[in-house]
Structure 1
Amino acid sequence: MQGKSYSYPIDESWNTQELETVIAMFRQVEDAYEVGVNRQKVLQAYRQFKKVIPAKSEEKRLGREFEKTSGYVLYRVVKKAQDSNAKRFKME
């Protein structure tokens, strides 16, 4: 999205480390659409993200919130990273 006038979905109950972990994942999603990302970094960020957000329903809710404000889809980025053999990729 042009101008980056969106915010990250956050939960006030998260501590600083958890907040940083979730934001790091959403930054990977942003980068996947805007400039391209290293596949392993996306997978690593996702593994850390799942430690903070283990429930699939919560992951989907956060992903929908982020997609609504940014237009970027968490699920598609993670799926592409999991299915790809390329070292780097960029979403189209």
Structure 2
Amino acid sequence: MTQEPDPPLCPLCGRPIPADVAQSLHHLVPKLRGGKGGPTVLLHAICHAEIHATLSATELARGYATVEALRTHPRLAKFIDWIAKRPPGFRSRVPGPRRGR
């Protein structure tokens, strides 16, 4: 029997990203700000959505173009603390538009 490879880890929250969970590629520098073809990271879809609900493309390009920088943002740090306590397959049950900044 062949053992399945371990699922990748989300670099933002550190939880595994199971194959059956929504995942998303995040351009560290937004495409609209010169990041087309640049480095990307695989994230949980919920983590990716939180990044874009928190920061504009300009803010991402100017000061948050690394995972380490993203983790230092106060709102994202609070989100990471919260989501890290959830199972890897956790999905938000609250649909709707982005929250205010």
Q: TM-score range by the shorter chain?
A: under 0.3
Higher relative contact order (CA 8 A, sep 6+): 1
Q: What TM-score, normalized by structure 2, do the two folds share?
A: 0.25
**Which structure has the highest helix share of the two?**
1
**Structure label with greater radius of gyration:** 2
**Which structure has the highest strand share of the two?**
2
